[in-house]
Structure 1
């Protein structure tokens, strides 16, 4: 929801100024990518930035369908950033993507806490879902579910082969467990079923019995039964005792060994445990969804879609295909935890990283912005500035590095001016003429600075004197920081 929808003042950038700042960001970013030799990763980062910005814009809608589309866009954009960082391995491409995302979001929506809240919530909700999905997928891939099933089957087969005395002890334990679970699960069923269904009165009134209600003499007899069942001679003694009872003894043995008594009690216990599990899942969902479940689900759509894609890839493509076509590191990981777990875990990690980077960047650029509504353009300027330093450090074109620094200042200046006009006269006001003059002036100043710096570097390159490399880099870095600080202070003094 933007400022206009909420009845507050318009706090976003003007359409023309924001667009010009975004175009300058993209052009400077592409130039830095070319200078670094990473054009395609840089274009990938720009694509991720565009998708993320459109996703953030869609999440400002009141319609849950558009919020869901926006959530998917944010997750896809974050996934592209992760792919650029992992596959491309180019810091410049990632920094250019971050700068374009900041400028793009600031250009198309009112960049403030009301814009950030749904986007940040979508990131956290999707990351949480993907983390849970990754854990489940890894558990399934490692065979934990099958192992639990085999363990349960071994327990059933062991129970069927147990002695009549052991089955008698198990029968008593099942009765007490069933009674305790009923006291926990029946009130839950009362809340779930229609009001005219009094499950509590119909069950607990008839089976209101707990293990502490049993007399001490019974517990003494029960302890004796357990001791006899664990001994080597107790089961044989109990079998002889049943033989002495003739028909009654054979009937009791038949009831104990055929499961006629144990199966209904086991089914009842499993059903009550299912009720308690469902109640726990319901409580988790309510705490996760909050007071507006449709909105929560819409903001989590990115995680849900990604989790579905990961499961489809895991079933359809199969881990063997990835293992045979990927590198050794990826192949080993996929082979160990499964393709679905790798995809879900990787995207979840990317989303958590995006959330952490957003917080770090907001803290870094806070001293450089006069209003939080221009934070996106400040992030764009800082990212371009750092990308320029990376290009210079890697031995790229000095002219491209200088152009990157000048572009960072121009983006910050144009974006801040666009936000200022948007706050004063509205985002949709006709400001093309004035902003065009301001943009041309800023671009000419930036181009003149680059030309002067290039000429100075050419002249200094013809002078023969030696300066240690670390001193030269430190001097250039301090000079660039000084220029940036001067530009910010000059703008605030105005």
Structure 2
């Protein structure tokens, strides 16, 4: 026997989402940010679908959900950033958050566990985008050639510094090889199939040593050589002159590089093996107990890196995008580096904001939020405040009143759907009862809108002088009347239920 699905009923929750969406778009348009509102609202609706999708059972569901979540996050961020250029920036962010809260409460359980897969998708995608930033910067800066030139410059500088510098560098290379070789050979042995063997690499295993095996007297001797090199390397040359032909041979041997080259090759190979092992362990730790699941969560970051890199390789797209970013970094680090860095910051900020809201930000409001239907209640409050913010952006008074009426309707419809879902289950046939209830709520909103229209365009101009003060008084008078009517309606529903 399966557990009863106690999420809000489908009909009432869908009506609440539809009303919140329409109200949000109207408020954004009235605030002077229609395009920003569309991007933000479409983004939060897509994000809601992605949150549900990324919690699926298959890797395909997780991957598609991760990609949709990243795309939705970028859409919302683009909308909010566009709205920041106008007076409606705060309104867009608030009403989009209201739509998000409504849609989440309608589709998923409003519990911490329900959003953890989405958190993982954002975290892993942001990490992959961060690696993409490093790779793009390395490619633009030709980091491989830079490293090779640095090594060549160092070798040339050591060769030109004199015989003592060549002798000291030879000892340092020998120490590095001796210290790295045992670890590199052990790593290679662990990579080979079968049981580890002690004779796979022959004499090479006997060359290596541990750091504690190096005598302190040798460290002191090496330090003295470095000190002589810094003070006056000509002393070593004078010593070689005393050796006559032997000194000349030592100079030729050290200067030819026949001793340095193989040691440098061994050091590079051993370092490469250890670096590869470090990367392998990092990938294993990142992949966790089930790497395909982790890769599914990270699919959004992978797709973002690929799409951005390929798109910016097109000159027309790169030129059009540069107008939005520009700056010296675009020239110094490359287009893909700058854009991917911005995307990574947005994803990291979204992950942080989600955690903050779900764990901390709601605590001050917990005494007034209902136990069930918390998303609908929060959506009503956010839509209310967002509508008031739109009023500050010179939105039409009727739009303001309509938005506030919609906020109350969203809360009422969602709360009723949540109560029915808790009692009867999400799949119960409750459409007729909900339709009756929602019709009453809609009539209350229409009455409030009609009263406001009469106050603004009838009674107001005929009785008192116009102006900002009059509009505010009329607005809040209408809101007070609307609040009383809603309270009476809810009280009547509670009495009927009892």
Q: TM-score, normalised by structure 1?
A: 0.84
- In structure 1, runs of 5+ residues without a counterpart are none
Contact 1:384 1:408 in 2 (8 A): yes
Candidates 265, 268, 275, aligned match of 1:267: 265
Deviation at 1:216, TM superposition (A): 6.0
Candidates 23, 27, 44, aligned match of 2:22: 27
Candidates 38, 41, 48, aligned match of 2:43: 48
Measure, in 2, the Cα distance between the counterparts of 1:432 and 1:172. Answer: 85
Q: Does 1:400 align with 2:399?
A: yes
CA pair 212-45 structure 1, distance change in 2 beyond 3 A: closer
CA pair 386-242 structure 1, distance change in 2 beyond 3 A: farther
Q: In the TM superposition, what whole-angstrom CA distance separates every residue of 1:192-226 from its partner, at most 9, and x where no partner exists? A: 33343325885686235346545566556545544
Measure, in 1, the Cα distance between the counterparts of 2:481 and 2:246. Answer: 99
Deviation at 1:370, TM superposition (A): 2.1
Candidates 338, 346, 358, aligned match of 2:354: 358
Alignment of 1:331-480 (within 5 A): 331-332=327-328, 334-359=330-355, 361-362=357-358, 363-364=361-362, 366-371=366-371, 374-458=373-457, 459-464=459-464, 469=469, 472=472, 476=476
Equivalent position SS for 2:206: coil
CA pair 216-294 structure 1, distance change in 2 beyond 3 A: closer
Deviation at 1:254, TM superposition (A): 4.5
Deviation at 1:186, TM superposition (A): 3.8
Equivalent position SS for 2:6: coil
| RMSD across aligned positions (CA) | 3.7
Equivalent position SS for 1:206: helix
Deviation at 1:403, TM superposition (A): 0.9
CA pair 471-260 structure 1, distance change in 2 beyond 3 A: same
Aligned to 1:72: 67
Deviation at 1:136, TM superposition (A): 4.9
Deviation at 1:400, TM superposition (A): 0.8
Deviation at 1:138, TM superposition (A): 4.3
Q: Does 1:236 align with 2:233?
A: no
Contact 2:180 2:208 in 1 (8 A): no
Q: Does 1:101 align with 2:96?
A: no
Contact 1:164 1:239 in 2 (8 A): no
CA pair 71-222 structure 1, distance change in 2 beyond 3 A: closer
Deviation at 1:149, TM superposition (A): 3.7
Aligned to 1:36: 31
Q: In the TM superposition, what whole-angstrom CA distance separates every residue of 1:21-51 from its partner, at most 9, and x where no partner exists? A: 1111122122213322332322222221222
CA pair 31-228 structure 1, distance change in 2 beyond 3 A: closer
CA pair 332-400 structure 1, distance change in 2 beyond 3 A: farther
Moved more, 220-229 or 423-432: 220-229
Measure, in 2, the Cα distance between the counterparts of 1:176 and 1:485. Answer: 86
Alignment of 1:155-194 (within 5 A): 155-194=154-193
Aligned to 1:114: 113
Aligned to 1:81: 76
Measure, in 1, the Cα distance between the counterparts of 2:271 and 2:474. Answer: 67
Measure, in 1, the Cα distance between the counterparts of 2:135 and 2:473. Answer: 50
Q: In the TM superposition, what whole-angstrom CA distance separates every residue of 1:282-330 from its partner, at most 9, and x where no partner exists? A: 343333333222211211111221122232244444897247x615x64
Q: TM-score, normalised by structure 2?
A: 0.83
Equivalent position SS for 2:383: helix
Contact 2:181 2:205 in 1 (8 A): no
Deviation at 1:168, TM superposition (A): 2.4
Moved more, 428-437 or 141-150: 141-150
Measure, in 2, the Cα distance between the counterparts of 1:359 and 1:77. Answer: 17
Q: In the TM superposition, what whole-angstrom CA distance separates every residue of 1:90-130 from its partner, at most 9, and x where no partner exists? A: 42333333222322233233333232111122122222332
Measure, in 2, the Cα distance between the counterparts of 1:57 and 1:208. Answer: 55
Contact 2:452 2:478 in 1 (8 A): no
Contact 1:55 1:73 in 2 (8 A): yes
Q: In the TM superposition, what whole-angstrom CA distance separates every residue of 1:50-98 from its partner, at most 9, and x where no partner exists? A: 2212211211211011101101111101101111122343423333332
Deviation at 1:17, TM superposition (A): 1.6
Counting matched residue pairs gives: 483
Moved more, 17-26 or 423-432: 423-432
Candidates 268, 279, 282, aligned match of 2:280: 282
Measure, in 2, the Cα distance between the counterparts of 1:345 and 1:482. Answer: 48
Moved more, 232-241 or 451-460: 232-241
Alignment of 1:196-345 (within 5 A): 196-198=195-197, 202=201, 206-210=206-210, 212-214=212-214, 218=218, 222-223=222-223, 225-227=225-227, 229-230=229-230, 231-237=232-238, 239-241=240-242, 243-245=244-246, 250=249, 252-317=250-315, 321-322=319-320, 326=323, 330-332=326-328, 334-345=330-341
Contact 2:182 2:205 in 1 (8 A): no
Q: In the TM superposition, what whole-angstrom CA distance separates every residue of 1:339-371 from its partner, at most 9, and x where no partner exists? A: 222222222222233334435555346444323
Measure, in 1, the Cα distance between the counterparts of 2:224 and 2:488. Answer: 86
CA pair 137-20 structure 1, distance change in 2 beyond 3 A: same
Moved more, 274-283 or 264-273: 274-283
Contact 2:41 2:76 in 1 (8 A): no
Contact 1:163 1:235 in 2 (8 A): no
Measure, in 2, the Cα distance between the counterparts of 1:265 and 1:123. Answer: 45
Equivalent position SS for 1:347: helix
Measure, in 2, the Cα distance between the counterparts of 1:289 and 1:277. Answer: 18
